[in-house]
Structure 1
Amino acid sequence: MSEDEVAALLRDSRKLQLATINPDGTPHLVTMFYGLSDGRLTFWTYHKAQKTRNIERDPRVTCLIETGEDYFELRGALVYGKAQLIADPPGVLAVGMEVAKRMTGLDDAEQLRGYVEHTGRKRVAFVVEPTRVVSWDHRKLA
């Protein structure tokens, strides 16, 4: 896919699969709602979550965003990168608001601000600095 097509996929999707590296070298894979900041993937999680501990030890991550049910509908992007910590409360809140919008489908999640501020006290956020993007679009095969 072109850069514009990948950007549209990231903009229009809601969830990603996040892979981090466990202490024993095995992958830790979870599904996350995410946000975007200047086209970069962002997500938040609890301070004590396994993914947080893994990223603190090794910031390399892989994010998979995909869509489609049948073979000739499949398209997706693998974003390889390094997750950078966002620990300051305004930054965590900003990521939380973007995630809340994507989770709920609301264009304006302002009504959720109180919830996001409350739950954000126990969270940290990350932005993924991409190092490589691999994409595919099986709709182009037909």
Structure 2
Amino acid sequence: MSERTKIALSEDEVTSLVGTQRKLQLGTINPDGTPHMVTMFHAVIDGQIAFWTYRSSQKARNIARDPRVTCLIEAGEDYFELSGALIYGRAEVVTDPNRVRYVGSEVVRRMMDLTDDDAIAPFVEATAAKRHAYLVEPVRVASWDHRKLT
């Protein structure tokens, strides 16, 4: 068994990691082929990574041109604590206003650790008209858990 296989996360462990971490690094592809990396708050909706962003953002323009994305989610500080997953996928744009507000509400709920819909609604309503939401359909996952090395 290779070292890579020994430290890989199980499917359930990847699901748990994605569900417990609030931020991810999102990679999209710039027009010149270089990577565009940003930190995004996200939610999990029907097993998919979900996020929203302003329609005129660089990442939105990149996804419109090429829907391939990479999401990096990682936890831990020291080397032997690190665990993470690289989720390669395709981002589906969501433009329906009700669905955009729903995704936005789920992201804001996790981002601000809120449970009160009345506290979330004003922020979501104020920005939803300028945003699109995205759902990431996973294509391939690479993962690691350095805690398995000890």
Contact 2:114 2:120 in 1 (8 A): no
TM-score of the aligned structures, taking structure 2 as reference length: 0.92
What is the CA–CA distance in structure 2 between the aligned matches of 1:109 and 1:73, rounded to whole Å?
Answer: 35
1:114 aligned to 109, 122, 138, which one? 122
Unaligned runs of 5+ in 1: none
The Cα shift of 1:106 comes to 2.0
- Give secondary structure in 1 for the equivalent of 2:27: strand
Q: Deviation of residue 134 (structure 1)? A: 0.9
Question: 1:21 corresponds to which residue?
Answer: 29
- Shift in Å, 1:79: 0.5
**What TM-score, normalized by structure 1, do the two folds share?**
0.97
Indicate whether 1:53 and 2:61 are aligned: yes
Per-residue deviation, residues 43-99 of structure 1 (Å, max 9, x unmatched): 100010000000000000000000100011000000000000000011101110111
- Equivalent of 1:91, from 87, 99, 109? 99
Amino acid across the alignment from 1:124: H
1:121, 1:24 → 2: CA distance?
29
Name structure 2 gaps, 5 residues minimum. 1-8
Superposition deviation, residue 112 in structure 1: 1.3
Q: Which has the larger radius of gyration?
A: 2
Count of aligned residue pairs for this structure pair: 142
Q: Which of 82, 99, 112 is equivalent to 1:104?
A: 112
